Amino acid sequence: MTYRRRASPLHAARASVGCAYCAALALATLLLSAPVALGAVVVSIAGAAIGAGVSREIRRAALLALPLGLLVMAVNMVVAQGGLTVIARLGDVPVFGQTDVTLEATVYGAVLGLRAIALILCGALYTAAVDPDEVLALFRRFSFHSALTATLATRMVPVLARDARRLAEAQRCRPGPPPSRARLMRATTSGVLDRALDVAAALEVRGYGAARRPAAGRRVRRPWSRHDLAFAASAAAIVGLAVAARVANLLPFQSNPSLRAPVGVGGAAAAAAFLACALLPFADRRGIER
């Protein structure tokens, strides 16, 4: 998955704001544990993906995250022994001993799995909708060379992936038995080293070896657009709502010894407000193309 500039309000916002928006969603995922709250976060991410035109990328990430979520749930079912409602008795399992699967541990595992999925989707949204060069430019003030190295690594991933595809195709054209994996690995490594030398030479002639900190000239201030303001406000509201819901215990969740996840009027309103805060910035679609 790579960043590609699209005509969307989130893409139109500056990278620092885009980062803040994705980070706010991730923070809410970590602060809230009620299924309704996590559901609101996941729906928000899905809505944001549609609003940003990256739903295909997020769907792909969700398909990759789903097995991890299920694994987290399955491990918790077996490992966690809390809860009063036994739904299966597995008997004496090596290493774990006497093992009972309880409804409470299963639901708690599902919540942990959902949280893991939501965090992965936040990362996917960031990757697909926030310009990595702009983000790295923010860090360049602190460590120019590290930021450039990170950019370079990002840039080389698709190049090396293409190289690998080419090598695989060439090997399919060889008659007879295919070469051993060790030989292929050696050939691949040689190719990567050749690439690395070429890139290093290109960086040298672009002045990388003599790189200096930017001159202390007057910075070009980019005016805050309506999308910068909207997503900054949205990120602040998401964090505020998540903290408030946590402090005021608006969306309580208990899984031991018995399940308890009541959704009162306050909790429902908080979830609805969360969705509104996360998705409203996408409603304004003026000036989204660049």
Partner 1 sequence: MTVLSLDRVTYRYPGSDAPAIEDVTLDIGPGELVVLAGGSGSGKSTLLRAANGLVPHFHGGMFSGRATVAGLDTRDHGPGALAAAVGTLFQDPETQVVMGTVRAELALPLENQGAAPAAVARAIEEAALALGIAHLLDRPTAELSGGELQRVALGAALAGRPKLILLDEPTSQLDPVAGDELIALLRRLNEDLDAAIVIAEHRLERCLGFADRAIAMRGGRVVCDAAPADFLAWACESAPELSTPGGRLLAGLGIEPVAGVKAARAALRSRGMLPEAGERGAMHTRRRTPGAEPAIRFDRVWHEIDRGPAVLRGVSLTVGAGERVALMGRNGAGKSTLLRHAAGLMQPTRGKVRTAGRVALLLQNPSDYLVHEHVRQEASAGALATVGLGDPALRERHPRDLSGGEKQRLALAVVLDGAAGTNYQIAVVCLDEPTRGMDRRRKDELAALVCELDAAVIVATHDPEFVAAFAQRVILLADGAPIADGSPHEVLAGGTYFATETARILGGADGVLLPAEGVALVGRSIAPEAEVSA
- Name the token pair of 36: 């309704």
- Name the token pair of 228: 């910068």
Residue 133 vs 284, nearer CB to partner 1: 133
Residue 205 vs 265, nearer CB to partner 1: 205
Beta bridge partners of 91: 99
Cβ 8 vs Cβ 53: under 8 Å: yes
Residue 59 vs 186, nearer CB to partner 1: 186
The CA distance from 42 to 127, in Å, is 17
The CA distance from 254 to 234, in Å, is 29
| Shortest Cβ 214–partner 1 spacing (Å) | 6
Residue 199 vs 236, nearer CB to partner 1: 199
Residue 137 vs 279, nearer CB to partner 1: 137
| Shortest Cβ 163–partner 1 spacing (Å) | 8
| Shortest Cβ 239–partner 1 spacing (Å) | 28
| Shortest Cβ 164–partner 1 spacing (Å) | 10
| Shortest Cβ 56–partner 1 spacing (Å) | 10
Cβ 262 vs Cβ 37: under 8 Å: no
Helix (H, G, I), strand (E, B) or coil at 26: helix
Q: Which residues are at the interface with partner 1 (CB under 8 A)?
A: 2-5, 131-133, 137, 140, 144, 148, 151-152, 154-155, 158-159, 166-167, 169-177, 179, 183-184, 186-187, 190-191, 195, 198-220, 290
The CA distance from 91 to 100, in Å, is 7
Residue 50 vs 203, nearer CB to partner 1: 203
Alpha helical stretches, state H, 53-102? 55-79
Q: Which residues of 20-42 are buried (b: 16+ CB within 10 A; e: fewer)?
A: bbbebbbbbbebbbbbbbbebbb
| Shortest Cβ 7–partner 1 spacing (Å) | 11
